[in-house]
Amino acid sequence: MSAPTGNAARFAAVPISGGGTPADEWLRRQHPFPSLPLDQCPGLVVVAPHPDDETLGFGATACAVAARGVDVHTVIATDGGAAWPGLSAFEQARLEESRRGESQTAAAVLGLPVPVFLGLPDGRLTENESRLAEILTEILAGRPEGTWCAATWRGDGHPDHEVVGRAAAVATSRTGAVLLEYPIWMWHWARPGDDAVPWQSAVQMVADPVAVHRKREAVASFRSQLESDAGREPILPPYVLERLDRVGEVVFQ
């Protein structure tokens, strides 16, 4: 799949507080996607921009793959300290610690190893794109041939998400790993049939009910993003979680 033009402007134009495209609209108007059998996965590396994206976008699939005895590794680019603007250095450090702990808890619920945290600056991944591509290349070069690399979609709208997708695309092209790009915020700002989305390359990841249930439990671990704090609205309101849960895990390959 060729790299799409970034959709940061599309994402910025649809405030999270406005709700975005409802889950019912996706389920009513979107044609079913073909499925990708999990027994084709020889190994899996999940790459996320922030602690929680790995679970929101690919948690059920990672859980189901790991349950088959396949080696699964999670790499998280930033510690998520810039979730809200204007935090003091102390507040940011405390948030980063919380978010790392939340991802570790979620991984345990999903039956996955502890994630690797790269500690790159949240909100400034564009400045570190080449470095991230090098790190991912190193990680993937040591994995079995045909390893799946699941990363946020290059057109997802959030700049950090798009950087991770581009870096993963470079790394997979260098190593022969198989790139799968999972959207998260696309479901918020896009519409069914949207020309900005490569629907022709979309596949549905089908995990068993146990994995789906564990994902829901794992998502609940991210309290720093689910709850308001000092008057700040939650980053992940209930309708965002409901939409992701109902549309399931889709990737572009």
pLDDT digits (tens, 9 = 90+) for 184-221: 999 999 999 999 999 999 999 988 999 999 999 999 99
Q: Give pLDDT, residue 230.
A: 64
Residue 249 has a CB neighbour count (10 Å cut-off) of: 26
Q: For residue 3, is pLDDT > 70?
A: no
Where do the domains of the chain lie?
22-252
* Angle between helix 53-67 and helix 89-110 axes, rounded to 10 deg: 20
* Domain 22-252 bears CATH identifier 3.40.50.10320: yes
Return the SS3 of 6. Answer: coil
Of the candidates 233, 234, 217, 238, which has an alpha carbon nearest to the alpha carbon of residue 225?
Answer: 234
Q: For residue 132, is pLDDT > 50?
A: yes
Contacts 24+ apart (CB under 8 A), 234-239: 235/16, 235/83, 235/84, 236/52, 236/56, 237/16, 237/17, 239/19, 239/20, 239/22
**Average pLDDT over all residues of the chain:** 93
Q: Give the separation between CA 107 and CA 103, rounded to whole angstroms.
A: 6
Please tell me the pTM assigned to this model.
0.94
Q: Give pLDDT, residue 234.
A: 87
